[in-house]
Every structure is written in structure tokens, then in C-alpha cells.
Amino acid sequence: MPTTEREAGIAEAVSDLARHAVDFDAPQLLQDLTTHTLALLPPQCAGVTLLDDDGRVAYTIASDELSRQLESHQAELGEGPGPDSVGREEPLGPVALRATGPDSLRWPRFGPRARALGVISVAAVPLRVSDHALGALDLFSTRPPLPSALDLSVARSLATVAASSLLLERRLKGQQVVVGQLRQALESRVVIEQAKGILAERLQISVDEAFRRLRAHARSQGRRLTVLAAEIAEGAGPGELDPSP
């Protein structure tokens, strides 16, 4: 049976995520998880909520500004697809976000905020290995098609690979090492946000498009995103970012 392009993409994504077990970088692992998920599945936005050993939110990561806001709302309100899926073994959703009807009662505070941002449906899969619940991968759709059961099965497989690397690192080096990396990443966000704004203004493009180009260039050159962002924030940066890749 010939291999399809999507099957090849799934295999490549699994291989890319698995390499983090050797060259561990928690923020980059979670960012790669959202990137591969969106490349393979229908949703337009994705985010990750990572819990600490006490079950509290330790870190969130987002594919773009919309998912950043949605992850922030979930953390603030304590409700949404991410918190609901953490204790589950199976994927959650897709759940339609309607103003009325049974679904409207599921997340009475998060639902209206997500709808106001243009989200029509949400889904999530747990970041889980055996009995170890580490967090959740959230999928946000602003237009059809919505993810199917098979799509969510793919998302769960990717999330499991990422969760395995996270759990291995915690066991080898301890929770504080992972949390330390993530706290450093939070500080780096400021620099990345500055670079996105500068690049958007320089090229007259949206902030999301600026981030896409920034991330794509960093990956293609094998460079850390924060290092490239710092160069741009300081007024430098490669000219290759100007034309659309």
C-alpha cells in the first residue's frame, strides 16, 4: 500500500518530537508540538497547558496571538477544554461553542470569551503517559472543517510522544530543571514579542505572519528563536526574513 503525503508528515512529526528526548528543550518541544499539529490537522490554532507536580499550571505555550489569549483565559478561569482533558485518557471534542443549548453550559465563562474571539469549536487531547497527566494540547477552530475522531487520534499520538520526553526529563533531572527552562522561556517571550512587533512594522505584515516568518527562519537555519528575536529587537536580523518564504 503506497504511503500518503499525510502519513509521511505524521512519521516526520513523530521523529522530530522524539529527538527532544536526546536534545531536550522544553519550550521548543512544546512549540514544535503545536507546529506539527497545525500542519497535519484542520484547526487553525493550538496551545499547550503544562502542569507542575502539584497539578497547577506551570506554563502555557501558543501557536499565535489568538491561542495565547485562549490559553490565558483558561488559566485565569480554571475552565475550558485544556483543564477538562487533563484527567481524561481519551480526546475531548470537538465541542461546538454555541450561545445557547447544552454546550453553552459546559464552560459558562470561557465559552463566551472564546466565541468573542471568533472560535466556533474546541478540542483537546491530554499530555499523558500511562498514569502521569502532564497537561493538555488544545485545538481551536475558527472555521470548518472540524477535526474528526481520526484527527484527534493523530493529535493524541503526537502529544504522547511529547509527554514521554517531558516525563523522561523530569525523572532524569527533576521537575525544577524543566520548570527553570520554562520560566526562562517566559522571560524570552518579551524579546520575541518585541521582535514580532518590529518585524511586522518593518514588513507591513500582521504580527502572526511576522511570527510565522521568524519561526520558519529560525528552524531552517537551525537557530534558537530567542537568539534570532534578540538580534531583531536590537535592530539587526537577517535580510532573508523580508521576502515571504
Judged against a pLDDT cut of 90, whether residue 112 lies above it is answered with: yes
What is d(CA 41, CA 125) in angstroms, rounded to the nearest whole number? 13
Return the domain boundaries, the chain: 5-173, 186-241
Q: Which CATH architecture has domain 5-173?
A: 2-Layer Sandwich (3.30)
Lowest mean pLDDT among 68-82, 109-123, 141-155, 202-216: 202-216
In the chain, the amino acid numbered 158 is L
How much is the average pLDDT of 134-156?
Answer: 94
How much is the average pLDDT of 207-213?
Answer: 81
Q: What is the pLDDT of residues 152-185, one digit of tens each?
A: 999 999 999 999 888 877 766 655 555 666 666 6
Mean of all residue pLDDT scores within the chain: 82
Q: What is the pLDDT of residues 90-109, one digit of tens each?
A: 899 899 998 776 666 789 99
pLDDT at 47: 94
Q: Does domain 186-241 have CATH number 1.10.10?
A: yes
Judged against a pLDDT cut of 60, whether residue 242 lies above it is answered with: no
- Kindly indicate the confidence band of residue 237, based on its pLDDT and cuts at 50, 70 and 90: low
